[in-house]
C-alpha cells in the first residue's frame, strides 16, 4: 500500500476543500454565481483552486507509482513534502491579497522541479527493476 501517497492525498484533499471554500466565500461576498465578475479577489481564488486541481493529480500519480515501485521511504517522503510545500506556497501567493511574485515563483518551481524529478526517478526505478527482474 502506498502509505505516503495516502497521507499526502488526504492533506491535499483538505487543502482542496479549503481552496474551494475560498471561492464560495468570495462568490457569496460579491454575489457572483458564474465567472469572476471582474472581481480580482474572486479571480485569484478561482485560479488558486484551479491551479491546485491541475497539478495535484499528476503529482499523486507519480508519487504513488514511486511507492508501488518500492522506492526508498525517505526519498518518497521528501518528494511528498516538496509537492505539499510547493502547492502551499502557490496558494498563499494567490490568496495573499496582493501580488506575491516571490512565493508564487517558489511554489511553481517546487512543483515543477518535483514533478520533473519524480518523472525521471520513476523511469529510473522502472528501468532498475526491469534489469534486475524484481
pLDDT band at 122 (very low <50, low <70, confident <90, very high): very high
pTM: 0.88
* Confidence category of residue 111, pLDDT binned at 50, 70, 90: very high
Pick from 108, 112, 116, 115: nearest CA to 89: 108
- pLDDT number for residue 134: 56
Of 60, 46, 45, which is closest to residue 2 (Cα–Cα)? Answer: 60
CA–CA dist 134, 132 (Å, integer): 5
Q: What range does the domain containing 40 cover?
A: 3-131
CATH number for 119: 1.20.120.550
Q: Look at the chain and report how many structural domains it folds into.
A: 1
- Average pLDDT value for residue range 61-80: 96
pLDDT at 98 over 80: no
Amino acid at each position: 500500500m502506498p502509505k505516503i501517497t495516502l497521507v499526502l492525498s488526504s492533506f491535499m484533499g483538505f487543502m482542496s476543500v479549503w481552496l474551494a471554500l475560498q471561492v464560495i466565500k468570495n462568490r457569496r461576498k460579491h454575489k457572483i454565481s458564474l465567472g469572476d465578475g471582474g472581481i480580482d479577489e474572486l479571480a485569484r481564488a478561482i485560479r488558486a483552486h484551479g491551479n491546485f486541481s491541475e497539478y495535484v493529480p499528476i503529482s499523486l500519480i507519480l508519487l504513488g507509482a514511486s511507492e508501488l515501485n518500492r522506492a526508498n521511504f525517505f526519498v518518497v517522503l521528501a518528494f511528498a513534502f516538496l509537492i505539499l510545500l510547493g502547492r502551499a506556497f502557490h496558494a498563499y501567493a494567490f490568496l495573499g491579497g496582493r501580488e506575491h511574485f516571490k512565493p508564487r515563483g517558489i511554489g511553481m518551481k517546487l512543483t515543477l522541479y518535483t514533478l520533473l524529478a519524480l518523472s525521471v526517478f520513476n523511469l529510473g526505478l522502472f528501468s532498475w527493476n526491469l534489469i534486475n527482474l524484481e
